[in-house]
Structure formats: C-alpha cells, structure tokens
Amino acid sequence: MEHPLINFQQAKFQVSAPSLKLCPMDKGAEVAFAGRSNAGKSSALNTLTNQNKLARTSKTPGRTQLINFFSLTDSTRLVDLPGYGFAKVPDRMKREWQKNMSEYLEQRKSLKGVVLVMDIRHPLTEFDLMMCEWADAAKMPIHILLTKSDKLKRGPAQNTKLSVQKQLSTLESPVTVQTFSALKKQGTDTLQHRLSQWLATEPEGSED
C-alpha cells in the first residue's frame, strides 16, 4: 500500500532531552536517526528536510550528547540520537550513553523505525553492529543509509550495499539498505518514502 509522502520541510526543532525520562510524551509516531559521529547524520537530516541548519553539523564529532526531537505534525516526529564513536568523553559517560540509547530503543512505544547512518566507505563498525543488536532486540525495523556515496563509483557503491544487506540478513527485524549523498541530493526520495511508510503506521484520527 502506497502511503502519502510527508512534507519533511515542515520539520521544526521541538526539544533536547538528556535521557528517556525527559523525552516528549510517548505518543504518536517517530523515527530516530542514529550513527557514528562523522557518518553524515546531521547532513542527511538537513537534506531530508531541505533545511541547512535543522540538525547542527559540528566540527567536533561526538559533541552532541542529547536526544533531539523535531516535530513534523502534532503526532509525528524525527529524532536525532547522539552521535557515537568519536566522542572524547570519560568511560562513565559512554556507559551512560549506552544505557540511555538502549532504554530509548527498547522502551519507546512511539518509535516506529531506526535510520542507521553509515559512511559508505566505512560501514558496519562495532558501534553500528551494537545499534543493530539493540534494534533487533526491540524488534525495530532498520533502514541503513549509506552516506557519502558520491565518494565511490556506482559499481563499488552497489557492491557495498549488497555486502551490507548480506551481513545483516541474519537479523530478525526488517532491514532495508540504500545509498545516499547529501552533496549530490541523491537518495532523498527513497528515504522520504521509507519514513512516510513508517510514520503512517500511526492510526488515523489519533489526537494529542
């Protein structure tokens, strides 16, 4: 069934939360973006919404330690999860981050899917696999966004996509994979269709 495309350009910053307890009310539908700090997550969000500064791109990878919420409608949201992998923070903070992310992925009822952002030249790092395991444990659909695909020729890019699909084929949760380039604006339509499908799982007529 074809779902109507959401107007992602209407995304507006809603709130930042340091933990699950301080997130907005757990109702409606939301999709979370996760990824290594330099994988191009902020650029992907900005390209998706056609807004240059919706998600801040930092010169210091891993600086953002908060869960950022962006409203699309009264009942739908995009969520920018803290970047992982390059944060120069104490182990205690990293353990806290892992606890918060695990709780969010496994307990958040309104979460309909996770977009896992990876640099196409460095896919499936240890942290990426950890996110996949969390999402799989929560029976959460995963959409892999292989960013910076303009850095590879078409053949190698498709080979990487197929390789990632094969490596994640053992997961029980549904997994889809696409290539994406924020620089060339390639893959935006595919991403919009996937997210519109997920966010449409919220029953019509539900109100805040």
- Backbone φ, ψ for residue 125 (5° rounding): -75, 175
Question: Computed from CA positions of residues 24, 27, 29, 34, in that sequence, does the dihedral angle turn out positive or negative?
Answer: positive
Residue-wise pLDDT for 18-73, tens only, equals 888 899 999 999 999 999 888 999 999 999 999 988 887 555 555 557 889 999 99
Token look-up 């409608």 returns 73
Q: Tell me which amino acid residue 97 is.
A: W
Residue-wise pLDDT for 147-195, tens only, equals 999 999 999 999 999 999 999 999 999 999 999 999 999 999 999 999 9
Cα-only R_g, the chain: 16
CA distance readout (Å), 197 to 1, 39, 118, 161 = 9, 24, 21, 21
How far apart, in whole angstroms, are the C-alpha atoms of residue 145 and residue 94?
24
pTM for the predicted model, two decimal places: 0.90
Token look-up 């803290």 returns 82
**Strand 111-119, strand 142-147: pairing:** parallel
How far apart, in whole angstroms, are the C-alpha atoms of residue 32 and residue 124?
18
